[in-house]
Chain A
Amino acid sequence: MGGRESTLVLLDKNGIRCDGRKVTEPRRIMIKAGVLKNADGSAYIEFGDNKIIAGVFGPRDVHPKHMSNTDTGIIRCRYHMSPFSVTERKNPAPSRREIEISKVIKEALQPSLMLEKFPRTVVDVFIEVLQADGGSRCAAIDAASVALADAGIPMRDMVCACAAGKVADTIILDVNNEEDQAGQADMPVAYMPNLNKVTLLQLDGVLTHNEYKKCIETAIDGCKLVYQIQRKALTDKFFENGGNQ
């Protein structure tokens, strides 16, 4: 990882992490569907200290026209961090990091969408990180998938995302900012829980093959927890009785 020197105790002898969590305990997650008036679908997520809003438009006409595909619809994605979302002001122009994250988020969401039903159209996913903590790309995917469902776009599955990582030689669920900076590895994972497919996988940091396996399994356990929260956000919006009809 970054190799930053730190006096922070990432994991104490009772197995408690720097923010008081247990090894396999995620941060607090809250998702609300349908938070924007103009977007076709939207969602707001708080994931630890991440505060992220996602808006979806489409399927709609493609501009510029040359991007359109006569065989299928396409998805575009913009992940953007507000200048005030981090400690030091961030230049509002998209950075190389944001462009890469936009691309991997697009590829994480695309397998869940039945875009072939909408040739010559585009689904635009706009993600604004209002406040960033560790794991913002995972939180962004969680919100975007709910926003896509909120927009009524035909989907094969939800996409849920959560990171796992390694601190103090221990595999942990849901890496926070401090653990990302001072820890040994960070592995964001996006997963379609019903189709059992991993649609985003990245790794920064060194893992043995056994740790790699455990990390994927841990992250997928986290994804399944997120999935329940995503479902609840959607049923809360669409069913007054919480979906028990």
Chain B
Amino acid sequence: MASVLDELKRKEIVDLLAQGKRIDGRAFDQPRPLSIETGVIPKANGSARVRLGDTEIVTGVKIQPDKPFPDLGDKGIFICTAEVLPLAHPDVEPGPPGEDVIELARVVDRGIRESGMIDMSQLVLEKDKSVIGIFADNSVVDHDGNLFDACSYATTAAILSCKVPKWEIKNEAPVLVEGHESAPPITTIPVSVTMGRIGEHILVDPNAEEWDCIDARITITTNSDGNICAIQKGGNDGFTVEQLLKCADISASAATKIREKLKQTKG
């Protein structure tokens, strides 16, 4: 149920869009300022604190030996989770993740996985028995909209900056070899760009106020070659084919600057 204040805010946002303006003064294709800090959690193998406008994420990457998936014995494993902490927003309550948070984690996971960012075939200790697992856990600490991109950048930065320990198989069990850490096998840098549609207008990186007004949204992830590697459409309305093609172009160009920034976090 929308309150009167929500209705007024929506009207203000829509009226401004008609004049070609966004509520926080950005251009339609301009994401909020992005800051990335890596190595913030020394006990993790890789970590990042990302601020996208006032949305803030802390992501830790833990790396440990694990069993491979039964049908993928020659590949390491990657698992990505997300949690929106109760301190991030007054409407968040503690408890098991709802469908929004499950979708968030799966969209971030899909962008990393489908881009082939990490060469999983280099993370095998013993085929079909023991592989290296990369676990990326996102904690949303401040929620001002577009968690998809913020978590995606934080996960990417945490992976890029991580150090992979070395294990050797002795008596059929992996044993840590101290002092032999290496950079992760990175093949490309995926960048997700989320766009909201309000009426005919496509807005890159909607903030929370805009997010509450969007008719539909789409997250498009591109790799370093500019090719598209993952998409998720969401929201309660659709897109025309023309809008979908426009969104793909916007995402590819918006991703370039962000990719440069992520590249600098490489350890």
A residues adjacent to B (C-beta < 8 A): 1-5, 69-71, 96-97, 99-100, 102-104, 107, 110-111, 187, 191-192, 195-209, 212-213, 216-217, 220
Contacts and interface: CB of A to CB of B under 8 A. Distances in A.
5 contacts: A104-B233, A187-B231, A197-B238, A206-B227, A206-B229
Contacts of A97: 106
Contacts, number: 109
Given A2-B72, A207-B228, A110 B102 contact: no
B84 interface: no
A107 to B, nearest CB: 6
Chain A CB count within 10 A is highest, among B223, B236, B245, for: B236
Contacts of A1: 114
B228 A198 contact: no
B252 interface: yes
Contact of A208 (B1, B227, B245): B227
B167 interface: no
Interface of B: 1-2, 71-72, 74-75, 99-100, 102-103, 105-106, 110, 114-116, 120, 218, 223, 226-241, 244-245, 248-249, 252
B241 A220 contact: yes
Contacts of A198: 233, 238-241, 244
A212 B228 contact: yes
Contacts of A220: 241
Nearest to A98: B102
Return the 10 tightest CB-CB contacts between A and B, nearest first. Answer: A197-B238, A203-B231, A201-B233, A199-B238, A103-B99, A206-B229, A99-B102, A111-B237, A110-B236, A207-B228
B114 A205 contact: yes
A99 B238 CA distance: 20
Contacts of B235: 107
Given A3-B72, A107-B235, A203-B229, 6 more contacts: A99-B102, A204-B230, A207-B228, A207-B229, A209-B227, A209-B248
Nearest to B221: A203
A33 B125 CA distance: 53
B236 A107 contact: yes
B229 A205 contact: yes
Given A107-B236, A206-B115, A69 B1 contact: yes
Contacts of B103: 99-100, 103-104
Contacts of B72: 2-4
A96 B230 contact: no
Given A107-B234, A197-B238, A203-B231, A5 B106 contact: no
A93 B210 CA distance: 35
B241 A202 contact: no
A208 B103 CA distance: 25
Given A199-B237, A202-B231, A205-B229, A96 B244 contact: no
B252 A209 contact: yes
A236 B240 CA distance: 31
A79 to B, nearest CB: 11
